[in-house]
């Protein structure tokens, strides 16, 4: 008999890594009730109160379940305006996580994006990325700059493991010809399926960018998930922390929203070793966020993040995390639902254009699936496609983001069951049109209606 039975050896068995200490009751409504709610919400799931949601896969951002140790550490909070001891613990944890010397807390990822956009760009500048996430994309546009996505040409190739990569040839060509202010690598590549970025690709992108003397930025809010995927793909025997540091060694600025891999509810930070950038960042942190030893965060937030960043380096946790995401991906795949494969770190992305053949992207086919998932099962997901990016959409996807340590394997089986019901009547999915939406962030604000 094989006596080795650590969590890692139990890869063949779907067992939870955590047990409950506090629970929250979920609401199961009737389909008729949900139809009413959808109408009132103008068919935009951002408008639905969470009490009407059964399984919330809208985002993995800030929706994480905290650990007993995070909760108890939170009680050590020090809310001093300057030099709080909670800041000291936050600082140590952030430095340990990303291996940069200077750390500026901010209230969440987009606060970092706003500060970096203001420091690094002028109107008309181009900002290249493997794929910008929607907040950064909109913020650069707001600053009258041009965010451009150049994902690897292999991003649709099922056998390609690092679909989060950037197109190195295009990068060099654009840097040599265009007015580029800086390059942002999003790790993992959220908008393109939560796909990992290869260390080699990152290193080369960094070298090319530095050849043209431009700033290289990592948006690393899911870099721990990238590290476990990288470790598995390459059979590396390095620790998660070592792998993360190998990535962060190749950037001028690292920033992250700690609402993701920080396993916290709020927060983020900007990190650098570049002494010339420090006064510029510090000044804007003070103007927009708060004194640089709290930067928009309470002491309680900083305590939660400090412990969360430590827990994010635990390999058992990361194995459990990506195994759960893969579990849902496998269930859907086995039912013949087209998904982005291999599944990435934080979410399963359904390829809505392949699933719903009778509708066009302009019918908001992804949103149509999002609406049906709610109507039939109370599941909240998000469209990543024509509604989010309009004509800039690279693909039409529906993201099922899995909050960290929050749902069980059984919950995910329920999600797959609802998909099986949708599949049976896929041709009933309706086209939608937008009645009203804000210009820069249409998916958050759009009011929609069925075309018939």
Position 100 contacts ligand F0G (CB under 6 A): no
In the shown chain, the binding pattern of residues 267 to 306 toward ligand F0G, with x for contact by CB under 6 A and - for none, equals: -x--------------------------------------
- Which residue number, 70 or 131, has a Cβ lying nearer to ligand F0G? 131
The region of 47-55, 102-110, 204-212, 245-253 touching ligand F0G under the rule CB under 6 A is: 102-110
**Binding-residue total with ligand F0G (CB under 6 A):** 16
- Which residue number, 59 or 73, has a Cβ lying nearer to ligand F0G? 59
| Rounded Cα–Cα distance for residues 259 and 263 (Å) | 6
Q: How far is the CB of 21 from ligand F0G (least distance, A)?
A: 26
For residue 184, report the phi and psi dihedrals to the nearest 5 degrees: -120, 125
Please say whether the beta carbons of 359 and 450 come within 8 A: no
- Which residue number, 109 or 344, has a Cβ lying nearer to ligand F0G? 109
- The full 3-state SS of the chain, as one line of letters, equals CCCCCCHHHHCCCCCCCCCCCCCCCCCCCCHHHHHHHHHHCCCCHHHCCHHHCCEECCCCCCCCCCCHHHHHHHCCCCCCCCCCHHHHHHHHHHHHHHCCCEEEEECCHHHHHHHHHHHHCCCCCEEEECCCCHHHHHHHHHCCCEEEECECCCCCCCCCCCCCCECHHHHHHHHHHCCEEEEEEECCECCCCCECCCHHHHHHHHHHHHHCCCEEEEECCCHHHHHHHHHHHHCCCCCHHHHHHHHHCCCCEEEEECCCCCCCCCCEEEEECCCCCHHHHHHHHHHHCCCCCCCCCCHHHHHHHHHHHHHCCCHHHHHHHHHHHHHHHHHHHHCCCCECCCCCCCEEEEEHHHHCCCCCHHHCHHHHHHHHHHHHHCEECEEECHHHHHHHCCCCEEEEECCCCCCCHHHHHHHHHHHHHHHHCHHHCCCEEEEECCCCCHHHHCEEEECC
Q: How far is the CB of 100 from ligand F0G (least distance, A)?
A: 18
- Which residue number, 89 or 346, has a Cβ lying nearer to ligand F0G? 346
Subset of 127-186 contacting ligand F0G (CB under 6 A): 133, 135-136, 186
| Rounded Cα–Cα distance for residues 25 and 32 (Å) | 21
Position 381 contacts ligand F0G (CB under 6 A): no
**Binding residue for ligand F0G, selected from 125, 219, 311, 363, defined by CB under 6 A:** 219
**Binding residue for ligand F0G, selected from 195, 257, 293, 319, defined by CB under 6 A:** 257
Q: Which residue is nearest to ligand F0G (CB)?
A: 109
**Binding residue for ligand F0G, selected from 100, 231, 259, 321, defined by CB under 6 A:** 259
- Which residue number, 87 or 255, has a Cβ lying nearer to ligand F0G? 255
- Which residue number, 70 or 363, has a Cβ lying nearer to ligand F0G? 70
- Which residue number, 115 or 429, has a Cβ lying nearer to ligand F0G? 115
**Binding residue for ligand F0G, selected from 110, 114, 182, 307, defined by CB under 6 A:** 110
- Which residue number, 215 or 359, has a Cβ lying nearer to ligand F0G? 215
Position 59 contacts ligand F0G (CB under 6 A): yes
**Binding residue for ligand F0G, selected from 44, 54, 61, 353, defined by CB under 6 A:** 61
Total Cβ atoms within 10 A of residue 300? 18
- Which residue number, 350 or 359, has a Cβ lying nearer to ligand F0G? 350
| Rounded Cα–Cα distance for residues 322 and 225 (Å) | 7
Question: Which residues, in sequence order, are CB contacts of 442 under 8 Å at separation 6+?
Answer: 387, 388, 390, 434
Q: How far is the CB of 86 from ligand F0G (least distance, A)?
A: 19
Q: How far is the CB of 272 from ligand F0G (least distance, A)?
A: 17
The region of 17-25, 108-116, 228-236, 309-317 touching ligand F0G under the rule CB under 6 A is: 108-116
- Which residue number, 259 or 405, has a Cβ lying nearer to ligand F0G? 259
**Binding residue for ligand F0G, selected from 108, 181, 209, 324, defined by CB under 6 A:** 108
- Which residue number, 57 or 337, has a Cβ lying nearer to ligand F0G? 57
Interface ranges with ligand F0G (CB under 6 A): 59, 61, 108-110, 133, 135-136, 186, 190, 219, 221, 257, 259, 268, 401
């Amino acid at each position: 008999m094989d006596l080795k039975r650590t969590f890692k050896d139990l890869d063949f068995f779907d067992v939870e890594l955590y047990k409950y200490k506090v629970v929250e009751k979920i609401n199961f409504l009737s389909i008729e009730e949900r139809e009413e709610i959808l109408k009132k919400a103008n068919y935009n799931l951002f408008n639905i109160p969470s009490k009407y949601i059964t399984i919330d896969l809208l985002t993995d951002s800030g929706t994480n379940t905290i650990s007993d140790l995070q909760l108890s550490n939170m009680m050590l909070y020090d809310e001093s305006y300057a030099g709080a001891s909670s800041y000291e613990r936050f600082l140590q944890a952030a430095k340990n996580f990303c291996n940069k010397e200077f750390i500026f807390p901010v209230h969440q990822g987009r606060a970092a994006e706003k500060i970096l956009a203001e420091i690094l760009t002028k109107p008309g500048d181009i900002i290249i990325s493997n794929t910008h996430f929607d907040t950064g994309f909109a913020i650069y546009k707001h600053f009258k700059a041009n965010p451009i996505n150049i994902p690897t040409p292999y991003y649709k190739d099922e056998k390609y493991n690092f679909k989060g990569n950037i197109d190195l040839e295009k990068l060099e060509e654009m840097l040599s010809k265009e007015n580029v202010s800086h390059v942002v690598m999003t790790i993992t590549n959220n908008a393109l399926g939560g796909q990992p970025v290869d260390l080699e690709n990152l290193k080369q992108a960094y070298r090319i960018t530095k050849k043209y003397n431009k700033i290289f930025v990592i948006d690393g809010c899911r870099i721990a998930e990238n590290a476990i995927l990288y470790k598995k793909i390459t059979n590396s025997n390095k620790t998660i922390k070592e792998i993360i540091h190998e990535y962060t060694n190749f950037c001028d600025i690292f920033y992250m929203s700690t609402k993701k891999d920080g396993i916290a509810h709020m927060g983020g930070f900007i990190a650098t070793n570049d002494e010339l950038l420090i006064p510029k960042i510090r000044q804007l942190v003070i103007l927009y966020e708060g004194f640089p030893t709290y930067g928009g965060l309470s002491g309680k937030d900083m305590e939660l993040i400090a412990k969360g960043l430590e827990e994010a380096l635990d390999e058992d946790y990361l194995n459990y995390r990506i195994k759960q995401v893969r579990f849902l991906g496998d269930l859907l795949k086995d039912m013949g639902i087209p998904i982005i494969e291999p599944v990435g770190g934080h979410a399963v992305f359904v390829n809505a254009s392949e699933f719903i053949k009778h509708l066009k992207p302009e019918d908001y086919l992804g949103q149509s699936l999002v609406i049906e998932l709610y109507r039939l099962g109370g599941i909240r997901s998000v469209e990543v496609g024509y509604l989010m990016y309009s004509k800039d959409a690279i693909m039409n996807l529906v993201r099922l983001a899995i909050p960290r340590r929050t749902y069980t394997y059984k919950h995910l089986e329920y999600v797959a069951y609802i998909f099986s019901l949708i599949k049976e009547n896929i041709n009933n999915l309706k086209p939608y049109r937008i009645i009203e939406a804000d210009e820069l962030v249409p998916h958050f604000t759009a009011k929609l209606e069925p075309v018939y």
